[in-house]
Structure formats: C-alpha cells, structure tokens
C-alpha cells in the first residue's frame, strides 16, 4: 500500500484505512516473521536521538534488523556535531545521504516537521518535546486492537501528566477519530491537557470530561492509560516533587476497575504503577512494549517498499 504521507510527524497523518492496513501487516509480521526477515536487505535506518530513549530507539532498531536491514545513528547527541553547534536541518541533510529512512527524537516541538522539510528520505517522529509521539500511538492502538478487538465504543481513562505527555496528546487525538469512544482525563489541575488539544478534541466532536478523581473514573474504564509525570519538562524541581506521586495505581486502585480492563503505559514508569500490578493479567504495558516492534516493522516496511502518493 502507498501511504498518503511521505513522513510520519503527527498521529493524524495516517488515515483510518492506512492504520487498519498497518495493524493487519503488523499482525502478519508477528505471525510469520520468516516471510519478512530479508525484505529490507540493503536498506538503512538512521536513528537521531537528541533525548534519552529505550523503547522507541531499540524497538526501531529491532524492527529494522528483523526485516534484514541495517541501522546507524546516535543515541547521545553530545557525541554528535550538535555539540559543536550544528543545526538540526544540516544534520538531517547529511543523514539523508547516509540512510533510506530516519527516526528523530528531539526536545523541541515541531522538530520532526522541520526535519521533514530538509529530508529526501522519510522522517519518522520519535517524539518531539511535549507535542507528539506518533509511533507510540501506533503501538497503543495496535495493542488495543490486539487485546480488545476494536478501537470503537470504548471508555478510556487517561491519568497522569496530561499537560506534557506527548504520548497522551498523540493517542487521544488518534482515538477520538473512532466512533463511540468516551474519554475521562484525570490529572492534577496543574497538569491538564493543553488548551490547543482541548479545542481540537472539541472541534472533532470528542466526548471527554476532565477530572482529578482516579477512583471514580476507573470503574467504567475499558482501557486505563497511565503516564509518568514528565520531570524533564518542568521548570523547577519543587513543582515536580509536589505532583509526582499524586496518582499511584496499585492493586487497591485496580480493585475498582472492570475485570477485563486493559492497563496501558507507554513506559518508562517511575512510581505511577506499583510493581504489584505487574502480575495482574490486566497489566498490558509489557505486552504493549513488545507489540511496538511489529507495528514499527509494518511502518518502515510500508514507507520504504510502498512509498507514498504525495512525493
């Protein structure tokens, strides 16, 4: 399939039909990995990580290696020429000659979009500041489809740092396009979703309410999506310390949830989900991290092999 977009910068860049295609391809790749194990031989993925990462970078690397391709890049921008003052646009123009597709994580909002304007090869946003994380969204949606059968008619409870959490911003917008979904957004009042996102959800006709009360919101939830308080986005440590342990999901909290509720978290977690929850079958976050490899395989395979319509 040809995607309509050359780059993936935002979670709304892909149509629902394209998302369905990627979910089906990821499922097929998971079931029959040998069929794809050489499909990207001769192709190179560039990884430009200006912020720390475990899952995004390594699941992309794993995805490319499982498709028979190769990987080059950096995970510590202090070891790149950014340290000498090189602008992202120059780094991207150079990397474009070294790889066939690149994934970029950067602390500045809009950095991937900027990079896409300077790159001849597809650019994938691996997280741009507190803005977007579209491949985490692909992972989240693929996990929900895999575990709950569909992306429609669900009650979602998002809890944590809804102000800075880029995965929340990406995934909320993506889920708001599916019919019948309802959202409860639980956070301290200081960490509510940004105004632009509230306006966008309203324009899309999304049914959502904002709350500070986790226990009452959890009883109706089909999916509970927890996020870390994003320490690195705070201007001072004192504010972070005040808010960091506001919501802790433990077995007692889970006892208020449905028996088949799915608990997701993009990870890394700090304190927001107690370790005791890991043995509850509803805890889906490690399964979610693993599914991230297959959906990224499907994405890079499709961007490289299928191409796009808006060259």
256 among known catalytic residues: no
Determine which one of 57, 133, 154, 192 is catalytic: 133
Determine which one of 6, 7, 43, 55 is catalytic: 55
Residues in CB range of 190: below 8 A, 6 or more apart: 163, 239, 243
55 among known catalytic residues: yes
56 among known catalytic residues: yes
Residues in CB range of 297: below 8 A, 6 or more apart: 26, 29, 36, 63, 66, 67
Binding mask 130-169 for ligand CP (x = CB under 6 A): ---x--x---------------------------------
Residue 86 to residue 74: CA distance in whole angstroms: 15
Residue 264 to residue 158: CA distance in whole angstroms: 9
Nearer to ligand CP, 56 or 155 (CB): 56
Q: How many CA atoms lie within 13 A of 291 on its CB side?
A: 27
Q: Is 133 annotated as a binding residue?
A: yes
Q: Is 288 annotated as a binding residue?
A: no
Please identify which residue in 10, 266, 277, 283 interacts with ligand CP, judged by CB under 6 A: 266
131 among known catalytic residues: no
**Nearest one of 5, 19, 22, 6 to 101, comparing CA atoms:** 6
Residue 55 sits in the site that holds ligand CP (CB under 6 A) = yes
Q: Which of residues 200-229 bind ligand CP (CB under 6 A)?
A: none
3-state helix, strand, coil in the chain (%, to 5): 45, 15, 40
Nearer to ligand CP, 180 or 268 (CB): 268
Nearer to ligand CP, 58 or 82 (CB): 58
Minimum distance between the CB of residue 253 and ligand CP, rounded to whole angstroms? 22
Nearer to ligand CP, 60 or 247 (CB): 60
Residue 8 to residue 225: CA distance in whole angstroms: 23
35 among known catalytic residues: no
Q: Is 56 annotated as a binding residue?
A: yes
Q: Residue 22: which H helix or E strand, with range?
A: helix 16-31
CB count within 10 Å of CB 38 equals 11
Minimum distance between the CB of residue 211 and ligand CP, rounded to whole angstroms? 24
Residue 54 sits in the site that holds ligand CP (CB under 6 A) = yes
Please identify which residue in 33, 87, 268, 307 interacts with ligand CP, judged by CB under 6 A: 268
CB count within 10 Å of CB 257 equals 22
**CA 44: distance to chain centroid?**
22
C-alpha distance from residue 231 to each of 160, 161, 272 (Å):
12, 10, 13
Determine which one of 47, 56, 143, 171 is catalytic: 56
Residue 174 to residue 48: CA distance in whole angstroms: 25
Determine which one of 43, 57, 105, 154 is catalytic: 105
Query: Which residue stretch of 156-164, 194-202, 234-242, 260-268 sits at the interface with ligand CP (rule: CB under 6 A)?
Result: 260-268
Minimum distance between the CB of residue 76 and ligand CP, rounded to whole angstroms? 14
Please identify which residue in 103, 267, 277, 300 interacts with ligand CP, judged by CB under 6 A: 267
Residue 295 to residue 149: CA distance in whole angstroms: 16
Reading the block at residue 311, the tokens are 């060259």
What is the separation, in whole angstroms, between the first and last Cα of the chain?
15
Residue 56 sits in the site that holds ligand CP (CB under 6 A) = yes
Q: Which residues are annotated as a binding site for L-aspartate?
A: 84, 166, 228
Footprint of ligand CP (CB under 6 A): 53-56, 127, 133, 136, 266-268
Catalytic residue positions? Answer: 55-56, 84, 105, 133
């Amino acid at each position: 399939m040809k995607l309509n977009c050359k780059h993936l910068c935002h979670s709304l860049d892909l149509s629902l039909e394209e998302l369905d295609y990627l979910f089906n391809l990821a499922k097929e790749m998971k079931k029959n990995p040998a069929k794809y194990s050489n499909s990207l031989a001769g192709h190179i993925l560039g990884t430009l990580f200006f912020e720390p990462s475990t899952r995004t970078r390594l699941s992309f690397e794993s995805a490319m290696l499982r498709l028979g391709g190769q990987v080059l890049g950096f995970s510590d921008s202090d070891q790149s020429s950014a340290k000498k003052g090189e602008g992202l646009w120059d780094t991207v123009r150079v990397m474009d000659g070294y790889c066939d597709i690149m994934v970029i994580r950067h602390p500045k909002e809009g950095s991937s979009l900027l990079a896409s304007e300077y790159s001849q090869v597809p650019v994938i946003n691996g997280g741009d500041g507190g803005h977007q994380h579209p491949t985490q969204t692909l992972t989240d949606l693929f996990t929900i489809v895999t575990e709950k059968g569909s992306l429609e008619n669900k009650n979602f409870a998002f809890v944590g740092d809804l102000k800075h959490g880029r995965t929340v911003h990406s995934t909320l917008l993506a889920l708001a396009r599916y019919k019948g979904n309802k959202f409860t957004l639980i956070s301290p009042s200081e960490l509510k979703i940004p105004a632009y996102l509230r306006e966008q959800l309203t324009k899309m006709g999304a049914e959502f309410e904002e709350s500070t009360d986790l226990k009452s919101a959890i009883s109706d939830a089909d999916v509970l999506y927890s996020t870390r308080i994003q320490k690195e986005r705070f201007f001072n440590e004192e504010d972070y310390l005040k808010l960091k342990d506001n919501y802790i999901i433990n077995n007692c909290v889970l006892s208020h949830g449905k028996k088949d509720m799915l608990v997701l978290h993009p990870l890394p977690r700090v304190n927001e989900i107690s370790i005791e929850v890991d043995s509850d079958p509803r805890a889906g976050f490690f399964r979610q991290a693993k599914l991230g490899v297959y959906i990224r395989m499907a994405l890079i395979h499709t961007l490289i092999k299928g191409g796009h319509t808006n060259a």
